[in-house]
Amino acid sequence: MIDPPPAEFDLGQRLKWVRERNGLSQRELARRAGVTNSNISMIEQGAVSPTVNSLTRLLDVIPLSLAQFFACDPERDSGAIYRAGELRSLRCPNSGIDYTLLSAKVDGAPVDLRRYRLRPGTDSGAELRVERTGIVGWLMEGTLELTLGAQVGTLAAGDGFYLPENQFYRVRNIAQTDALLITVNANSTVTGSSED
């Protein structure tokens, strides 16, 4: 994780922080912007001040507008980008369900976003299941039959649902095509769905 610059930081420190936050070395930023590495080094050290045009040229590489550059708040910038190769892909044994898991912390609370692929005939089982946490879901593709306690409904692409914590449920793919579902723990934030 990149340490944020001090609360009172100059333009050079801000450029360095933004550059590092985007995984760019001075050399790579210079190459992409068509300037010298020493030019970037001098700006970041506060030895020279860039013109608006040269700063815009550097920020175009990221890409970040001047307004976004000056609006960035290092004290509050804690978001993250997760690459496909960093996510865990899992398979539920004997169920026909594959899923990809993205786990994060939101304000200190764990959040699991899952993307499920449910193959035709997939059935979570005649024995109803219970989830420890509430779940919100959104069916992206396909058709699913969902049992929530005493309620049974058929979900089409674009439909969603809420499963309260400790609620019995069952899910079945009753179609001849894969179903793609996204879920999120409702007790924290949103839950995820299927693999591509």
Are residues 111 and 153 both part of a single domain? yes
Are residues 17 and 54 both part of a single domain? yes
- 196 residues of the chain, pLDDT tens digit each: 455 544 456 899 999 999 998 989 999 999 999 999 999 999 999 999 999 999 999 999 999 999 999 888 777 776 777 777 778 787 776 666 788 888 887 777 778 888 999 999 988 877 777 888 889 999 999 999 999 888 999 999 999 999 998 888 999 999 999 999 999 987 644 333 333 3
**194 lies in a domain?**
no
Q: Which domain holds residue 123?
A: 84-185
Is residue 124 within 8 Å of 117, Cβ to Cβ?
no
pTM of the model: 0.62
- Write down which residue in 41, 71, 101 finishes a domain: 71
